[in-house]
Amino acid sequence: MNENRPVQEEDLQAYVDNALDEARRQEIEAYLRDHPDVARRVDGYIVQRQRLRAALAPVASEPIPPELNLRHMLAARRAHTAAPWRMAASVIVALCVGGLAGWMGRGATEPASGGIAALAREATASYQVFALDLNRPVEISANDRADLVRWVSARLQRPISVPDLSQSGYRYMGGRLVATEHGPAGLFMYDDGHGSRVAMLVRPMQIDQDTPMKAHRQAGIAGYSWADQGLGYSLVASASTSGLHPLADEMRRQIGAQVRKPAPA
């Protein structure tokens, strides 16, 4: 019976970590909609989490070095050589923490930009974090598409639409609200049923509010980004994905048709 349970800091942390059950998650989302100051702080937490996951993703995918294999380390311990390994482990931890701190602090020296280049970077980072997640790539499934669109539209304070790519061979999986350096954004995921996923990121633009489509590629992720009437869109996928440009063109066509649809009389 969580109906009247107050929202605590641990609830917000669990929300950021995707560790809440569905009922509690909806309660927290309703709370954030009513408390924009807290929502902005939570957005900051999510940005930090996404940066951390993106930074560690290449390391997590690497095989464990033989010298760090558990059996090897246990054998070394039995051979009374544990002390050197502890020293090596301390050095490794120090290097990792120092390197990660440097990576996390790199933004302090980068010029702030809310333009197309920043949008492309944010879409790439979101794709690396979520599209490659085999367990929970989306937060809200395709069955609740209308709810997600309403939620994201409310957070962006702009009406948004989700393109239908079924005629192009891609099934809509669902999506989520993500945090970026320039505020909240909607992330919508599609797959072709054969292991290929594409994602569209949409957020309001501070600059480059009407910008032609531009191609980009970073860290093995390719994409096309553009802006129309103050909203930026970025379609991203693995660089090996074929036909990405026609998909982006189809998305832009559908979004443009929806935006320019005359209001009912």
96 and 50 both lie in a single domain: no
Residue the block writes with tokens 């996923």: 197
33 and 70 both lie in a single domain: no
224 and 195 both lie in a single domain: yes
What pLDDT score was predicted for residue 84?
Answer: 56
Radius of gyration of the chain (CA): 21
Helix, strand, coil percent content, the chain, rounded in steps of 5: 50, 20, 30
Which residue range forms the structural domain that includes residue 86? Answer: 65-105
Burial call 199-210: b when 16+ CB within 10 Å, e when fewer: bbbbbbbeebee
Q: Evaluate if residue 78 carries a pLDDT over 70.
A: no
Helix (H, G, I), strand (E, B) or coil at 19: coil
Residue with the bigger pLDDT between 121 and 50: it is 121
77 and 21 both lie in a single domain: no
For residue 18, tell me if it sits in a domain: yes
Average pLDDT for the chain: 81
What pLDDT score was predicted for residue 85?
Answer: 52
Which residues make Cβ contacts (< 8 Å) with residue 199, sequence separation at least 6?
A: 123, 126, 127, 130, 131, 187, 188, 189, 190, 235, 236, 237
99 and 124 both lie in a single domain: no
For residue 265, tell me if it sits in a domain: no
201 and 118 both lie in a single domain: yes
Residue with the bigger pLDDT between 127 and 12: it is 127
Q: Phi, psi at residue 71, to the nearest 5°? A: -60, -40
Residue the block writes with tokens 């609830």: 11
Q: Evaluate if residue 14 carries a pLDDT over 70.
A: yes
What pLDDT score was predicted for residue 108?
Answer: 43
For residue 3, tell me if it sits in a domain: no
54 and 71 both lie in a single domain: no
For residue 85, tell me if it sits in a domain: yes
Q: Evaluate if residue 147 carries a pLDDT over 60.
A: yes
Q: What letter does residue 128 receive in the DSSP assignment?
A: I
41 and 98 both lie in a single domain: no
* pLDDT, tens digit (0-9, with 9 covering 90-100), for 16-61: 877 888 888 888 888 888 888 888 788 877 777 776 666 665 555 5
Total structural domains in the chain? 3
* pLDDT, tens digit (0-9, with 9 covering 90-100), for 207-250: 999 999 999 999 899 999 999 999 999 999 998 888 999 999 99
* CATH number of the domain that residue 252 is part of: 3.30.200.100
255 and 177 both lie in a single domain: yes
146 and 197 both lie in a single domain: yes
Q: Please state, in angstroms and rounded to a whole number, the distance separating the CA atoms of residues 189 and 54.
A: 18
Encoded tokens for 90: 């301390």
For residue 242, tell me if it sits in a domain: yes
Reference 126, options 181, 172, 164; nearest CA is 181
For residue 133, tell me if it sits in a domain: yes
17 and 82 both lie in a single domain: no
Q: Evaluate if residue 9 carries a pLDDT over 50.
A: yes
15 and 144 both lie in a single domain: no
For residue 83, tell me if it sits in a domain: yes
As a whole number, mean pLDDT of residues 153-165 equals 94
What pLDDT score was predicted for residue 107?
Answer: 47
What pLDDT score was predicted for residue 33?
Answer: 85
For residue 27, tell me if it sits in a domain: yes
What pLDDT score was predicted for residue 109?
Answer: 42
Q: Please state, in angstroms and rounded to a whole number, the distance separating the CA atoms of residues 88 and 85.
A: 5
